[in-house]
Structure 1
Amino acid sequence: PSPTHEHQWKHNPAHLPVVNVMVDNCLTRVLRPHQRLGIVFMYECILGMQKPEYHGAILADEMGLGKTLQCIALVWMLLKQGPYGGKPVLQRVLIVTPSSLVLNWQNEFLHWLGRERIQTFVVDQKSRPKDYSRLPQIPVMLISYEMFVRYYDDISQIHFDLLICDEGHRLKNTTIKTYALLYQLECKRRILLTGTPIQNDLQEFYALIDFTNPGVLDSSIDFRKYFEEPILASRQPSSDEDVISLGEERAMELNHRTSWFILRRTQEVINNFLPTRQELVVFCRSTPLQQAMYEAVVDYWESRGHESGPEEVAHLGVITALKKICNHPSLVILRQSEPLLGEEDITQHLTQNYPVQDGAILSQQSGKLDVVICLLEELKCTTEKVVLVSYFTQTLDLLANMCMQKQYKFSRLDGSTPSTQRMKIVKNFNSPHSDKFVFLLSAKAGGVGLNLTGASRLVLYDSDWNPATDLQAMSRIWRDGQTRSVYIYRLLTTGTIEEKIFQRQISKTGLSGAVVDLQNQSTIRLSNEELKDLFTFHHDSTCTTHEMLDCKCAGVGLVAHGDLQLERSLSITEDELSSQRDCQLQVAQTLASSTCVRMNQLFQWQHYSQPVRATLLQELGLSGASQNITFIFQNLSQSQTISL
């Protein structure tokens, strides 16, 4: 796009000829349409073509859409060109990223541009920013957030023309030192990258917006008074029409004042370029031992949960114990170096009454483990690879022992994996020449930037309270570069807390009723009634989620289209949301409608109750697990994904 007359007057005082700025041919041939648009968007923002006084952009595309490639194309273009006389816009670029992704950025520059075109400088223990200041021929510095804080004094002495912050949602807290130091860095052109949508927390929203374009929403005090207070007031159940109307008006104004420098696209833009995907929610039968231990924990909580003082059983310990029992009974009796409050008492109680073999890989003790073992046995004779994801290090240990017993070659990446080794492990697993069959992944460690397209099957062994975290984990294999059809399995133990967590993720209440602080789970606050409902074990149910839908289908795989009211609510809500699909902030009523759609979308999935059709189980690689599967939700269509 050509600069406006206003832009030329302000930025071209020498009256140099206006020339076209073009992406290098070596990159244009690989760019998808949405990536070309993303480059144009960032170009206009950082050159002040949208608003002359602001030079920041937020690229909030979902994971897997190539945010890194878009930035590399932009950087390379502006290191060589500019709109005025062809003079380069950029001389030096600073890219700040999580430590686990620093080498990934270096490899991406090398992959797309080659060593002969560009060099990058990686700050580590041996290479310091002071060294970079003496190397004018290297235009790009790559550094982790931690290293940036450590060497801020040196970095602040170097003039950078562009600052790129990867996984920028880390900067949602204005009180942390990283935010403060990056904010005061003298670099007006800023690009913030995030695959996590900007949530409906207004303080976090303000922090990200003000970092990208300082002052665009005035001071934090003005923002709180003019936007935050009216919008929050409109969400209260007791709000009258005037308060609601004002809140909606201010939310719309907030969108209008920020949407010009925020761009978010979803996976839908590349669905047509990817192979087919099948999503499955597999409900697994609990074993008699799991049932007995589960009920023992609940009984223990009920008998002591209403006491006061130090003897009170902390519900977080109960939640953790129940989730571990769902994974495998042996996990709950393993000693923790730092057990949660209440967990140690529960462990002692269970150890005395249920002497489980410590660390034993007995599929007879866990329905979910039996399903995984059956899946791996059926796939071992193929050329497919499998990713197994868990939030518990203990569970990964359990799965690793299982792989060793079965003599399956595996890779593992968790919080203890050095950041310098992560990309090497991933690259080795993805190689078609690798003998690795299984990839064990910590959901917390694998939340950012991991591409595991060498695998075509992924099993989410357990779930998190935060649906976005689950989606991050499940998106590792279905992204650009995948050549096989993909199968994604979410395993839930039927009738347990796992199913309740899943229901909270997709129901319109979401997590709002629980008031969960996802950064600090020790602050989970639930009433006794909510806890009782959460802990209730429906051992005689085949799928309480299907029962909650009040679906009348026979469970034979026919799509339950629902009644006219459901269809009308779906179509109306989609129409209402279509014009706001790229918006980052919505009023509570709109968000409630959106989550209602997510719940209703289960009607668009296929439902299978026991006995599940043998041909389906064979296709899914689950023939041997038929006795431990009580229900399956299956999504065959790319377009009907539940976007949690």
Structure 2
Amino acid sequence: MCEDIVDRWHVGEKCLAPFPESGKLCEATIKSIEKDKNGKSFALVSFLDSEEKRILITKLYKVKTDHGKSLIFDDDDLEKPYFPDRRLPSPAVAFELSKNGDCIPYTINRYLRDYQREGVQFLYGHYAHKRGCILGDDMGLGKTIQVISFLAAVLHKKGTRKDMENNMPDFLLRTVKKEPKCVPKKTFLVVAPLSVLYNWRDELDIWGYFRIGVLHGSQKDNELTRIKQGKCEVVLTTYETLRLCLDELNSVEWSAVIVDEAHRIKNPKAQITKTMKGLKCIVRIGLTGTILQNNMKELWCVMDWAIPGLLGSKVYFKKKFSDPVEHGQRHTATKRELATGRKAMQKLAGKMSGWFLRRTKALISDQLPKKEDRIVYCSLTEFQKAVYQAVLETEDVNLILRAWVPCSCNSGRRRKNCCYKTNFHGETMKALYFSYLTVLRKVANHAALLQTENTSKQQKTHIKRVCNQVFSKFPDFVQLSNDAAFETISDPKYSGKMKVLQQLLNHFRKNRDKVLLFSFSTKLLDVLERYCMASGLDYRRLDGNTKSEDRVKIVREFNSMQDINICLVSTMITEI
């Protein structure tokens, strides 16, 4: 197969190749063809006499010609979505949703899995009957794509040049001698957190030709005008902008409102809930992977927004469902309470079954790509062991370790409940437990995390004590930290995890693999960032300080640019 692909190309031939910086297909000339030691074939190409780049030969496309002229696109090239490197899980045929012609276009359907089609059918069924519903799939199962597939079906999208023509203004259609279609205009509102707002815009643009309006920021007045004039099919906005523009948005006749992270509508008294219930729209679709976060009253609030009255009033729900279930979950519950709780839960599940759809990764594992998890154990370096031991030898840790020993005053009580309730500085045992666990965890990750910036006053006190004891034994390290802090902090020899990571990254770089490095600690991300800089690695970073509009750009660059194969990500950015 690979040899057949290689035989298709010749030195000096024109081709279409992904431009390294943008990932877009551009015309190039093949300078040479070679194989690496793994047997992969690469072409050395030149983009319009610019610098030469090595591109995988499987990523090259033929330039179509017509009467000797080079044409970059034909009708097939205008299909959306189009992922040339992705294996098609389904045939390229449209998927019918109803007898009236509503269907998922073949351009989208070919990339969907069976459970995603079922999700689209679920959304469409409720929309057709003018009812609300909740799609509660696990995070990562493609709720966004299911919604876009649904929108493409009800807006009669084809994913081809035809959509581009239909999106033209009426006067432009007449100039190309085509009569505008007299079809009822549909407008859908998508409400999402700001952190994912522009991701929605990008996904809509990738998966089809939609007329999109983004109602946020300084241009929202102009967008409101476009929306009222019926120039948008899909309008994206945030919870906060919706609150500010509720009256203007209520003047628009929405075909449906789709709310991302609908679990935010969990408190009946909160402003966000009042705003969402104040939006005039019959079909309300909620998306959430965690509809139940703290208690069952939150479940009622979300369901009552999407399908008012389904679970009764708040008082009725509490009496018939919430109280029996919660009483049955107590560790002191009687057999009667357990049975009553199970019965109430079964009845609640029955009431919600047609309106709430949830699939977990375990439930549809046979439809998902296989994932391999590997746990790599990392030993502490000699430096880390010394720091760790120094922490264990502090007076505070000694106090903690002997807390359950009988007190020396012969009272018969344990030390922590008698003469040693606090340390020399008046800090309680409980405070010391958690504080020193945090210190030890930092040492196990990287000794550079023992810095006093951005820590609590109590943490600063403990860390200073540890540092004074430990670093006095390593004067060379202290001197290096002062003279060349950048290189020292990023040096893997001061962290066992970094030593292993260095080897893994070298392996992934040789294979040209993409790597996501997640960390709960942003300070550890700082250390990883310094390591990437010191090693000359091209990387991107996403954390809580990254602006929403920049996040989309960073993700796009990471996915499309061949030279960027590392992305440092904070686990606190849940939507990533």
TM-score, normalized by length of structure 1? Answer: 0.59
Contact 1:316 1:340 in 2 (8 A): no
Match of 2:283 among 189, 202, 206: 189
Counting only pairs closer than 5 Å after superposition, residues 37-436 of structure 1 correspond to structure 2 as 37-48=118-129, 55-80=131-156, 91-114=186-209, 118-128=211-221, 130-196=224-290, 198-199=292-293, 201-267=295-361, 275-286=369-380, 287-295=384-392, 296=394, 298-299=397-398, 306-307=421-422, 311-312=427-428, 314=431, 315-336=433-454, 339-340=455-456, 342-355=458-471, 357=478, 360-431=489-560, 433-436=561-564
Quote the residue 1:23 is aligned against. 104
Q: Partner letter of residue 397 of structure 1?
A: D
**Which deviates more from structure 2 when the two are superposed, residues 23-32 or residues 279-288?**
23-32
Question: Which is further off, 184-193 or 308-317?
Answer: 308-317
Contact 2:522 2:570 in 1 (8 A): yes
* Paired AA for residue 340 in structure 2: L
Displacement of 1:197: 6.1
Equivalent pair of 1:316/1:342 in contact (CA under 8 Å):
no
Judging changes above 3 Å, is the alpha-carbon distance between structure 1 residues 139 and 379 closer, same or farther for their aligned structure 2 residues? closer
Alpha carbons of structure 1 residues 327 and 102: separation in structure 2 relative to 1, 3 Å:
same
Asked whether the equivalents of residues 165 and 193 of structure 1 are also in contact (C-alpha less than 8 Å), the reply is: yes
When residues 282 and 44 of structure 1 are mapped into structure 2, their CA distance, relative to the original with a 3 A threshold, is same
User: 1:100–1:199: structure 2 CA closer, same or farther, 3 Å change rule?
Assistant: closer
Shift of 1:237: 2.2
Write the letter of the residue equivalent to 2:333.
S
Superposed displacement of residue 209, structure 1: 1.6
What letter corresponds to residue 137 of structure 1 in structure 2? Answer: K
Which contiguous aligned blocks of 4+ residues in structure 1 show a shift greater than 6 angstroms? 86-90
Q: Any conservation in 2 of the 1:293–1:325 contact (CA below 8 Å)?
A: no
Aligned-partner residue type, residue 570 of structure 2: S
Query: Aligned in 2, Cα 1:406/1:254: closer, same or farther, shift over 3 Å?
Result: same
The answer (yes or no) to whether the contact 2:291–2:302 under 8 Å persists in 1 is: no
Q: For 2:373, what is the secondary structure of its paired residue?
A: strand
Letter in 1 for 2:564: K
How far apart are the structure 2 equivalents of 1:387 and 1:74? 31
Rounded Cα–Cα distance in structure 1 between residues aligned with 2:246 and 2:292 = 27
Aligned-residue offset at 1:224: 1.5
Q: Offset of 1:290 from its aligned partner? A: 4.4
Q: CA deviation at 1:242?
A: 1.1
Query: How far apart, in 2, do the equivalents of 1:183 and 1:387 lie?
Result: 39
Cα distance in 2 for residues equivalent to 1:269 and 1:88? 41
Q: CA RMSD for the aligned pairs?
A: 3.0
Taking only the aligned residue pairs, the percentage that are identical comes to: 27
CA 383–26 in structure 1, closer or farther in 2 if over 3 Å, else same: closer
Q: Deviations over 1:159-205 (max 9, x none)?
A: 32211011222333334322221122121211111234645731222
**Structure 1: 5+ residue runs without aligned partners?**
1-16, 50-54, 451-644
Cα distance in structure 1, aligned partners of 2:182 and 2:359: 32
Q: Is the 8 A contact 1:318 1:342 kept in 2?
A: no
Taking structure 1 as reference, are residues 79 and 277 closer, same or farther at Cα in structure 2, changes over 3 Å only?
Answer: closer
1:483-562 pair list within 5 angstroms: none
Distance 1:193 1:346, change over 3 A: same
Q: What is the SS of the residue equivalent to 2:500? A: helix
User: Displacement of 1:78 after TM fit?
Assistant: 2.4
- CA distance in 1 between counterparts of 2:444 and 2:134 reads 40
Contact 1:301/1:318 (8 A) holds in 2: no
* Length-normalised TM-score, structure 2: 0.66
Q: Label 1:26 to 1:333 Cα distance change in 2 as closer, same or farther (>3 A).
A: closer
- Aligned partners of 1:227 and 1:259: how far apart in 2? 15
Cα pair 1:233 1:239 within 8 Å, conserved = yes
Equivalence for 1:573: none
Whether contact under 8 Å (1:234, 1:244) holds in the other structure is yes
Is the Cα–Cα contact under 8 Å of residues 162 and 189 in structure 1 kept in the other structure? yes
Q: What whole-Å deviation, never above 9, does each CA across 1:599-643 have from its counterpart, x for those lacking one?
A: xxxxxxxxxxxxxxxxxxxxxxxxxxxxxxxxxxxxxxxxxxxxx
Q: Is the 8 A contact 1:78 1:90 kept in 2?
A: no
Cα distance change of structure 1 residues 378 and 264 upon mapping to structure 2, 3 Å threshold: same
> Residue type of the partner of 2:446?
H
Structure 2 unaligned spans of 5+: 1-97, 158-180, 404-415, 472-476
Q: What displacement does 1:70 show?
A: 1.6
Once the two structures are superposed, what CA deviation does each residue of 1:394-439 show, in whole Å capped at 9, x if it has no partner?
A: 00000011111121111111111110011111111111x4311311
1: CA distance, partners of 2:110 / 2:182:
24
Residues 275 and 226 of structure 1: CA distance in aligned 2, closer, same or farther (over 3 Å):
closer
CA distance in 2, matches of 1:134, 1:277: 46
Q: CA deviation at 1:256?
A: 0.8
Q: Is the Cα–Cα contact under 8 Å of residues 391 and 443 in structure 1 kept in the other structure?
A: yes
1:227–1:251 contact (8 Å) kept in structure 2: yes
Cα deviations by residue, 1:15-42 (Å, 9 ceiling, x for unpaired): xx98453333443333322222111111
In structure 2, C-alpha distance between the alignment counterparts of 1:127 and 1:226, rounded to whole Å = 45
Instruction: Tell me which structure has the larger Cα radius of gyration.
Output: 2
